[in-house]
Amino acid sequence: MASARTPLDDLRREIDQIDDAIHDLLMRRAAVVERIGAAKGNGAAENGAQPIFLRPAREATILRRLMARHAGSFPAQVVVRIWREMITAFTRMQGPFAVAVYAPEDRRGFWDVARDHFGGFVPMTAVNTPAAALRAVSEGTATVAVVPYPAEDDSDPWWRFLVSADAGRPQVVARLPFGGRGNARGENRDALAIAAVPHEPTGDDRTLLSIEIGGDLSRGRLKDSLEACGLPPVSFCTWHPAGHATGMSGGGPSVHLVEIADFVGQGDPRLARLLERSGDIPVRVNVVGGYAVPLALG
């Protein structure tokens, strides 16, 4: 004799129906992504290289919208993790996607942060120096490089390799982690993602500027000039090329990496005003990229 159906059986049947609906929507989303890929064109880019379908600003906008509508007891961090897996998987459907991660034996935490952001399905390669990760992107063997967030005490900063006016150079496109650190190992230091894709606004952004100064201009005066031009600085890292004097108050040519609390494009009029304020001191400013401000999840 068949056993009577219990309320628990009904709940499990409802879960099965929900799982089917979720799966149906995933397959529907995949079909839409395939149509997007066809609309963009899967041929070679104008310079003969493989096209890149990565859109970090769009990804950040999607996750912010979901977090704004999220409710209930299901952890928000898990929602972000699920969508991060989906986003990279769907991006890979449109074209090649690989990640080079600065992850020497004593810095495996960067590997974990990169895996959490780009998912467990994307090909990832560990390299021993940030320069090697950047080179992989420049040479086309990786789509994205993951490198440590710059620190003031870096004696040979990797970011100096991005100081260029070349519009096609790799640049900063994201700050990791975006939705919480999770169970990543190692030091509690953020990372930056570098790729050859445009720096686009999301409504809540940071921009990284490289400011090359060919004369004696202190960091304090530079900070004042930035603020006067409507470019609020958040942090500074300074590098003095070999053979030149060092010091916080000027003393020769220097290159500053300045984080600005706003979106700044290469043609932003505020940059022209900054150059005007420098007077006779040679100054060159380039946008090194930027990122959407990460989510603040409890």
Place of tokens 């930056």: 192
SS3 59: helix
- Is residue 149 assigned to a domain? yes
- Is residue 27 assigned to a domain? no
CATH at residue 121: 3.40.190.10
173 and 258 housed in the same domain: no
SS3 284: strand
Beta-carbon contacts of 65 under 8 Å, excluding residues fewer than 6 positions away, are none
Q: For residues 288 and 252, give the distance between their C-alpha atoms in angstroms, rounded to a whole number.
A: 22
Please tell me the predicted confidence (pLDDT) of residue 195.
97
On the question of pLDDT at 188 being above 80, the answer is: no
109 and 232 housed in the same domain: no
239-269: pLDDT as tens digits: 987 654 444 344 568 899 999 999 999 889 9
Range of 222's domain? 205-242+250-288
Backbone torsions φ then ψ of 40, nearest 5 degrees: -75, -30
275 and 224 housed in the same domain: yes
Q: For residues 102 and 86, give the distance between their C-alpha atoms in angstroms, rounded to a whole number.
A: 24
CATH at residue 279: 3.30.70.60
126 and 219 housed in the same domain: no
Say what the alpha-carbon torsion angle 143, 148, 152, 157 is, to the nearest 10 degrees: -50
Other beta carbons within 10 angstroms of residue 213's beta carbon come to 23
152-166: pLDDT as tens digits: 888 889 999 999 877
Q: What is the distance, to the nearest Å, from the Cα of residue 210 to the centroid of all Cα atoms in its chain?
A: 17
- Is residue 2 assigned to a domain? no
159 and 218 housed in the same domain: no
The sheet with strand 191-195 has its strands ordered as 124-127, 99-102, 144-148, 191-195, 171-176, 283-292, 205-213, 254-260, 233-239
191 and 270 housed in the same domain: no
On the question of pLDDT at 87 being above 50, the answer is: yes
Q: Specify the number of domains making up the chain.
A: 2
Higher pLDDT, 222 or 186: 222
97 and 129 housed in the same domain: yes
Q: How far apart are the first and last CA of the chain?
A: 51
- Is residue 33 assigned to a domain? no
75 and 57 housed in the same domain: yes
On the question of pLDDT at 104 being above 60, the answer is: yes
89 and 138 housed in the same domain: yes
69 and 162 housed in the same domain: yes
